[in-house]
């Protein structure tokens, strides 16, 4: 003998509003027997004996919809505010030229300064130091969320340039535990690890230190960065040609540190000769015939931001020649 299936509604005294059926209308207010959803829950339950009217129901539904819309709008505003925080350097004179900061879904290249005046080891150290400080700025942009940074390079460069020092990273403002270092045997494996890291969409920044990047790998990195909205920073050999598909390209050199505020013989804040050679967005307004915008930037360990060296700050907006050592 067939038995009726038990009702999934906890209380038999609850009804719900369902799709109108002419034969099931009750008391003219649109109440029909409860029908569960696919997970066994009632969509909208009201007491069976309540004296409800259509206007009351509509007012209640409008209030519920308005509350959902406010919650959704607040979530979107919070997300937009988070996404709108630009990856800045902290120097207003330069950030304005970058239309607010570096693109966070693009490929950026950093090259050590080349020439007779620049030592090979010193130029590489300056380029790496500048890149780490950009990573600190990126991590600050994502305060409140995990800022995982992937650092990839081949063994030949790791042995030649030396491994990053945990306490040094912490002193600069970058948590060592947030960094993942990948050392590979070949450059192609380094590029593959970078691309896979970008595709994971779980990182704040991917840094690659490689001799050079050909056009096809650079294009793949650029597409992966855009697809995951994760910035990628490559540090390449100054003797090799620039990489393609980059949003910006920087030429970095070492300069004498700033005077120490308390001891004349001690080194002060680190300074870099920074030349912005390429800006894809077109926000960089270079003068006619110029090839790069050159500044001397100073890093503040207290505020974790760059600033134009004090002696140059008053003429940061004035005309300057395009030379790597200018400043």
Residue 219's Cβ-count burial label (10 Å; 0-12, 13-18, 19+) is middle
What pLDDT score does 2 carry?
Answer: 52
Helix (H, G, I), strand (E, B) or coil at 187: helix
Q: What are phi and psi of 152, to 5 degrees?
A: -125, 140
Distance CA 135, CA 139 (A): 6
What pLDDT score does 107 carry?
Answer: 97
What pLDDT score does 250 carry?
Answer: 96
Residues of the chain with CATH 3.40.50.300: 85-313
Distance CA 110, CA 243 (A): 10
What pLDDT score does 9 carry?
Answer: 45
What pLDDT score does 133 carry?
Answer: 96
What pLDDT score does 72 carry?
Answer: 55
What pLDDT score does 240 carry?
Answer: 95
What pLDDT score does 291 carry?
Answer: 53
What pLDDT score does 235 carry?
Answer: 98
Distance CA 280, CA 263 (A): 43
CATH T-level assignment (fold) for domain 85-313: Rossmann fold (3.40.50)
The whole-model pTM stands at 0.68
pLDDT tens, position by position, for the chain (327 residues)? 555 555 454 544 444 444 444 444 444 444 444 444 445 555 455 455 445 567 787 888 888 888 877 765 554 444 334 434 689 999 988 888 888 899 999 999 999 998 755 678 889 999 999 999 999 999 988 877 778 999 999 999 999 999 889 999 999 989 999 999 999 999 999 999 999 999 999 999 999 999 999 999 999 999 999 999 999 999 999 999 999 999 999 999 999 888 887 877 778 889 999 999 999 875 444 443 445 688 999 999 889 999 998 865 544 444 444 443 433
Distance CA 248, CA 147 (A): 22
């Amino acid at each position: 003998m067939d038995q009726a299936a038990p009702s999934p509604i906890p209380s038999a005294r609850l009804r719900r509003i369902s799709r109108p059926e002419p034969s099931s209308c009750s008391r003219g207010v649109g109440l029909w027997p409860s029908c569960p959803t696919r997970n066994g829950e009632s969509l909208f339950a009201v007491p069976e004996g309540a004296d409800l009217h259509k206007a009351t129901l509509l007012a209640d539904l409008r209030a519920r919809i308005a509350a959902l819309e406010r919650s959704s709008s607040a979530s979107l505003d919070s997300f937009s505010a988070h996404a709108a925080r630009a990856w800045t350097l902290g120097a207003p004179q330069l950030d304005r030229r970058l239309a607010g900061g570096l693109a966070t879904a693009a490929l950026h290249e950093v090259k050590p300064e080349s020439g007779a005046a620049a030592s090979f080891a010193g130029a590489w150290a300056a380029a790496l130091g500048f890149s780490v400080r950009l990573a600190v700025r990126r991590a600050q942009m994502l305060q409140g969320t995990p800022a995982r940074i992937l650092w990839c390079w081949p063994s030949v460069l790791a042995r030649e340039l030396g491994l990053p020092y945990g306490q040094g990273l912490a002193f600069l403002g970058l948590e060592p535990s947030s960094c993942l270092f990948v050392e590979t045997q070949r450059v192609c494996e380094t590029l593959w690890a970078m691309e896979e890291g970008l595709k994971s969409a779980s990182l704040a920044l991917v840094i690659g230190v490689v001799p050079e990047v050909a056009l096809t790998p650079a294009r793949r990195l650029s597409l992966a960065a855009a697809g995951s909205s994760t910035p990628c920073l490559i540090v390449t050999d100054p003797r090799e040609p620039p990489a393609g598909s980059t949003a910006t390209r920087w030429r970095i050199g070492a300069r004498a540190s700033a005077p120490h505020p308390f001891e004349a013989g001690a080194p002060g804040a680190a300074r870099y000769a920074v030349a912005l050679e390429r800006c894809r967005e077109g926000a960089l307004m270079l003068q006619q015939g110029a090839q790069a915008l050159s500044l001397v930037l100073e890093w503040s360990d207290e505020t974790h931001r760059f600033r134009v060296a004090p002696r140059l700050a008053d003429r940061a907006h004035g005309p300057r020649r395009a030379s790597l050592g200018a400043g």
